[in-house]
Amino acid sequence: MSAPQQGPVLAGLKIVDLTTFLSGPSATQLLGDLGAEIIKVEALSGDSSRDIAGPKVLGDSAYYLANNRNKRSIAIDLKSPRGLAVMKRLIADADVVIENFRPGVCTRLGLDPHEITEEHPALIWASISGFGQEGPWRDRPAYDMVVQALSGVMSLTGHPGAPAARLGIPAGDVVAGLYAVIGILGALVARQQTGAGRIVDVSMLRGQLAMLSYQAVYASVTGEAPGPQGAGHDSIATYRSFRGRDGREFVVTANTPRMWEGLCRVLGLEQLVTDERFIDAAARLRNKEELWHLLEARFAELPAADWVDRLTAAQVPVAPVKDVIEALDDAREAADGSLVTVHNAEAAFDNVATPIRFLATEEVEPRYPPALGEDTVAILTEDLGLTREEADALVADGIVIAANAGERVAAG
């Protein structure tokens, strides 16, 4: 007998989202996917990511759309006393505030985290910044590529002899967003036990340093900086990419003795199993250049797809190197919930779904990313209890902006 369906895990949690661009919005989108109510507070000019160059839908950039589903938007002039008062009322009604301003900006706006959490002891305040709230670099601006460069990540990316390369994904931003979510969830657990909130401080640079994983320890132990990894591995000779006769790339990760023997058998190179140069993983690593020459020559005899099929049948981990369109097509064909279609009455697009699943749990119906100020009046009247006249006065005086999905700019 199946368990009864339960509600989303974060249902009932109210989060005030003061973030912009990517690190913060990716965090709050994840929290919204898990059922939290996200009130996205924007400047009157809107989240700066709305206007990033590139593809657009209904006037908003695809960049913005990628990170802002399942949110409501209110646009407030935080530099005005009346706007600041609205903001403080939102915070008073919230469980969590998350922001990614540079350190000190919230305090200058009249939203000092220490004063606010002292006034609201159960509130969790999460800050994402480039270099943390303390330290010599706290006031420096930071973007994804800046922290990839400073952390050593870029020095590991690309091929030997080529210039350092940025990861093709915004790891500096997304990883910081993930750590912010982890910090918030940890603070929520602690609050259940103590009743007190916490201030969470997440640094993009610290997030990238954490991503170094074993490479950081390798460097610490040897005193040598690891170089660009290309498509290989510092410790496993048979963990890299190869090309078939048709030029298509595929990766092989023959990590264990069984996998190594299977690889040799599929390639018809069984003699390598007892060859002293390749007798174990350490020997293969010492003699990797010779080994690669032998493997590359054999792989060049057949198309990549043939090798993928043969190695898969032999239970040797292998995969073709796919482009983004191919990967998304695979996810769509699998129909396993990896993609989610986000739509409103005027437009629709596919996005990558949150990878977390809870069995016997109701999933959040994806809400199209909000237009600037789309929910302003509803938030003022329904959440904060203002009368319609009071809300209309704030709109008329330019303290807030109210819009609706029907007023979106036509797609350019």
- Indicate which residues carry an active-site annotation: 233
- Please tell me whether residue 218 adopts helix, strand or coil conformation: helix
How far apart are alpha carbons 397 and 132 in whole angstroms? 37
At 401, list the tokens. 């902006």
Check residue 1 and give its pLDDT: 53
- Grouping H, G, I as helix, E, B as strand and the rest as coil, residue 344 is coil
Domain spans, the chain: 14-212+336-407, 239-321
Is the pTM for the entire model greater than 0.85? yes
Average pLDDT per consecutive 10 residues, the chain (412 residues; last block may be shorter):
83 98 98 98 97 96 98 98 98 98 97 98 98 95 96 97 96 98 98 98 98 97 96 95 98 97 98 98 97 98 98 98 97 96 96 95 96 98 97 97 59 36
Q: What is the pLDDT of residue 194?
A: 98
Secondary structure letter of residue 159 according to DSSP = -
φ, ψ of residue 220 to 5 degrees: the values are: -65, -40
Q: How far apart are CA 16 and CA 31, in angstroms?
A: 11
For domain 14-212+336-407, give the fold: Rossmann fold (3.40.50)
In this prediction, residue 3 carries a pLDDT of 67
Residue 17 DSSP class = E
pLDDT of residue 403: 86
pLDDT of residue 2: 64
What is the model's pLDDT at position 405?
41
CATH class of the 239-321 domain in this structure = alpha beta
